[in-house]
Amino acid sequence: MTSIAGGPCAAVIGLGSMGIGMAQSLQRAGFTVSGYDVSPAAVARFAESGGVVGSTPAQAASGADCVVSVVVNAAQTEAVLFGPDGCADSLPQGAVFVSSATMAPEAARGLAARLERTGRLYLDAPMSGGAGRAADGSLTMMASGSVAAFERAQPALDAMTGTLHRLGDAAGLGSAFKMVNQLLAGVHIAAACEAIAFAARQGLDLARVYEVITQSAGNSWMFENRVPHVLAGDYRPKSAVSIFTKDLGIVMDMARDLRFPVPVAGAALQMYLMTAAAGMAQDDDASVARLYAQIAGLTLPAET
Amino acid sequence: MTSIAGGPCAAVIGLGSMGIGMAQSLQRAGFTVSGYDVSPAAVARFAESGGVVGSTPAQAASGADCVVSVVVNAAQTEAVLFGPDGCADSLPQGAVFVSSATMAPEAARGLAARLERTGRLYLDAPMSGGAGRAADGSLTMMASGSVAAFERAQPALDAMTGTLHRLGDAAGLGSAFKMVNQLLAGVHIAAACEAIAFAARQGLDLARVYEVITQSAGNSWMFENRVPHVLAGDYRPKSAVSIFTKDLGIVMDMARDLRFPVPVAGAALQMYLMTAAAGMAQDDDASVARLYAQIAGLTLPAET
């Protein structure tokens, strides 16, 4: 990749709803952005918005100051770095790899150590915030890594984030904070779905329940954000059930390794698994409410 | 009870941390307030603040336009109304009984029907908000009852509440909304405690976890409100563990009667029961975090 007019170059690997927005935020900030995705449709959309298409992660990352990896998990991140077409070797010495996938801290530490042995930098930078905030450059990132990694990534971070939490000088801390957040987020969505279906079972006016709860001590960020999907009967995936079978699965694995009990998160995970098992894995995570309704023979609002 | 200068008269039955504040809010609004509590200490505190002490609920309620019952559950509410010293008979015809205890909707419907047969009014009005909001007259109430009950109670409600949700014209609806709130509140406190202890197990800086989570999608009203108790090591009861063994117990009973599964709330209830069983029933509900710490051999912040 060559910069237009000598400006900064970034690569974005993974051009889904989050990655494409982050790429566009980088472009707006003056970066020449090269991108890669396994999906031809995602690549085409990126090319339309003026992106430079790489045919492999290695090609996309060649010559970049910063590679932002926006894939799903640790295994995909490992493939992006060290797979047959991985970018670890093509990334210039001293450039930084910003990893935003949700993964166990141990996995982040392993990938960072392996990459840094080759003379590149690694930033452990999982994120919070949806596609809208990716597109307007106001994501929250929970980041940790060396001072050098932060320095090299700073212009790209400035372009993509509204809030950057600098959580320490070693990979793993960003991921640890993210997993605490995911434990809570996963429980809160399941609880929101349980509560709104419990309200439906009692015949309550669900719009009124939403209004009262969002003003009360029972409120959560997730209740406020997800229950409107139930009220609208709209289960198109803003964030899919499969994200939480994955993320609460990571929490369970971590907790078991640490010999630490997480029974509330465990109950929530079972609800996502039931919802996925009932055929809704790729639907919006508010579908957990549909699972309760299905079990109890309730009618929730239908999409109008 | 006789009004000073012919103004409105109210009685408050139950002068704990909530009831005393509500009584003072009524006094500030010009009510002559008579009160009763089983605890001599609570009665003495009320007398010091200028309240008229009744020696029984019946005596306190005699001549009142409105009786506000601030006791713990349905059984106590029934005793306040229909027990040997109960106030149902001494309450003037057409006066209103405002019941703020958390109880199953079915219990509220039963008490309302029984009282209204005698010519008095019943308002099903459970509340949300702590002692501070009781004292400054800004509670939230989730209320339902007849138009006549609302009308008769309105001046007292104006004195005590910041937000009054009018949820319908029959007793039971207020309680139904409250139980949906309690399901969520109970799960969120248990999840907050599970998450902060999970963070401690990983050796994270807990103050930083609080700062990051309260700005992220994993936040809840309860996380924001209760985790500071853990950070301060202060488990003096603002709201005790025993409140949630009770309230999630009511949720479980209701759900079983409705043949509706609530596995996430069920897991949370077990954590409150474990915490109570470990000797912390009368401590602050953030003590669930201490239970996790005890199990896992962790050290949480100590009170300074």
A111/A128 same-domain check = yes
3-class DSSP assignment, residue B117: coil
pLDDT tier for residue A130 given thresholds of 50, 70 and 90: confident
A139/A219 same-domain check = no
Which tokens belong to B47?
């007398």
**Min Cα separation A2/chain B (Å):** 37
Question: Does residue A250 sit within a domain?
Answer: yes
3-class DSSP assignment, residue A65: coil
B154/B212 same-domain check = no
State phi, psi for A39 to the nearest 5 degrees. Answer: -90, 120
d(CA A84, CA A274): 36
Decide if pLDDT at B3 tops 70.
no
Nearest to A97 by CA among A127, A71, A126, A65: A65
A146/A191 same-domain check = no
Burial class (CB in 10 A: 0-12, 13-18, 19+), A149: buried
For B165-187, the pLDDT digits (tens) are 999 999 999 999 999 999 999 99
CATH no. for residue A185?
1.10.1040.10
- The percent of residues above 70 in pLDDT, for chain B, comes to 98
Q: Which of A209, A215, A264 sits opposite B180 (nearest CB)?
A: A209
**Min Cα separation A233/chain B (Å):** 20
Helix A206-213 / helix A221-232 crossing angle, nearest 10 deg:
170
User: A131: Cβ–Cβ under 8 A, 6 or more apart, which residues?
Assistant: A17, A18, A21, A238
B146/B21 same-domain check = yes
**Min Cα separation B108/chain A (Å):** 15
CB spacing of A204 vs B258 below 8 angstroms: no
Among A220, A252, A269, A270, the residue to mutate for chain B (most B Cβ within 10 A): A220
Which tokens belong to B284?
């602050």
H/E run at residue B57: helix B57-61
Q: Please report, as a single letter, which amino acid is at residue A8.
A: P
Q: Helix and strand tally (H, E) in chain B?
A: 13, 9
Question: Does residue A243 sit within a domain?
Answer: yes
The residue of chain B nearest to residue A269, with distances taken between CA atoms, is B264
Maximal C-alpha separation, chain B: 64
Among A209, A216, A274, the residue to mutate for chain B (most B Cβ within 10 A): A216
The predicted structure's pLDDT at residue B129: 84
Decide if pLDDT at B105 tops 80.
yes
CB contacts under 8 A, B 120-179 vs A, are: 128-129, 140, 142, 163, 165, 167, 173, 176-177
A23/A148 same-domain check = yes
Decide if pLDDT at B5 tops 70.
no
B102/B140 same-domain check = yes
Decide if pLDDT at A2 tops 80.
no
Question: Which chain A residues contact residue B217 at CB under 8 A?
Answer: 128-129, 181, 185, 221-222, 225
Beta carbons of A67 and A10 less than 8 angstroms apart: yes
d(CA A231, CA B202): 38
CB contacts under 8 A, B 233-262 vs A, are: 251, 254-255, 258-262
CB spacing of A201 vs B258 below 8 angstroms: yes
Which of A178, A226, A229, A290 is flagged as catalytic? A178
CATH no. for residue B152?
3.40.50.720
Looking at the structure of chain A, the number of domains it has is: 2
Beta carbons of B241 and B287 less than 8 angstroms apart: yes
Question: Does residue B97 sit within a domain?
Answer: yes
- Which residue among A123, A151, A170 closes a domain? A170
Answer whether B6 touches A (CB < 8 Å).
no
- Work out the average pLDDT over B213-234: 97
- The percent of residues above 90 in pLDDT, for chain A, comes to 94
For A46-95, the pLDDT digits (tens) are 999 889 999 999 999 999 999 999 999 999 999 999 999 999 999 999 99
Answer whether B220 touches A (CB < 8 Å).
yes
A186/A140 same-domain check = no
The predicted structure's pLDDT at residue B303: 77
For B50-98, the pLDDT digits (tens) are 899 999 999 999 999 999 999 999 999 999 999 999 999 999 999 999 9
B142/B268 same-domain check = no
For B199-223, the pLDDT digits (tens) are 999 999 999 999 999 999 999 999 9
- Work out the average pLDDT over A217-245: 97
- Which residue among B146, B170, B194 closes a domain? B170
CB spacing of A223 vs B184 below 8 angstroms: yes
For B247-281, the pLDDT digits (tens) are 999 999 999 999 999 999 999 999 999 999 999 99
For A284-303, the pLDDT digits (tens) are 999 999 999 999 999 999 97
* Per-position DSSP letters for A206-267, written without gaps between them: HHHHHHHHTTSTT-BHHHHHHHHHHHHT--S-SSBHHHHHHHHHHHHHHHHHTT---HHHHH
- Work out the average pLDDT over A194-207: 98
Question: Does residue B129 sit within a domain?
Answer: yes
- Which residue among A115, A146, A170 closes a domain? A170
Question: Does residue A302 sit within a domain?
Answer: no
The parent domain of residue A143 ranges over: 4-170
CB spacing of B212 vs A263 below 8 angstroms: no
Question: Does residue A92 sit within a domain?
Answer: yes
Q: Which of B216, B255, B296 sits opposite A181 (nearest CB)?
A: B216
- The percent of residues above 90 in pLDDT, for chain B, comes to 94
For B134-154, the pLDDT digits (tens) are 999 999 999 999 999 999 999
Question: Which chain B residues contact residue A296 at CB under 8 A?
Answer: 259-261
Instruction: Give the residue with greater pLDDT, A17 vs B279.
Output: B279
The predicted structure's pLDDT at residue B269: 98
The predicted structure's pLDDT at residue A1: 54
Answer whether B207 touches A (CB < 8 Å).
no
Helix B17-28 / helix B40-48 crossing angle, nearest 10 deg:
20
The predicted structure's pLDDT at residue A4: 53
Give this prediction's pTM. 0.95
Nearest to B68 by CA among B48, B45, B84, B46: B46
The residue of chain B nearest to residue A251, with distances taken between CA atoms, is B198
B165/B185 same-domain check = no
Decide if pLDDT at A3 tops 60.
no
CB spacing of B219 vs A184 below 8 angstroms: yes
The residue of chain A nearest to residue B262, with distances taken between CA atoms, is A194
A64/A155 same-domain check = yes
Question: Does residue B302 sit within a domain?
Answer: no
By annotation, the residues of B acting in catalysis are 178
User: A39: Cβ–Cβ under 8 A, 6 or more apart, which residues?
Assistant: A15, A16
pLDDT tier for residue B116 given thresholds of 50, 70 and 90: very high
ipTM of the complex in this document: 0.95
Decide if pLDDT at B2 tops 60.
no
CA B229 to chain centre: 19
For B22-43, the pLDDT digits (tens) are 999 999 999 999 999 999 999 9
B137/B233 same-domain check = no
Question: Does residue B24 sit within a domain?
Answer: yes
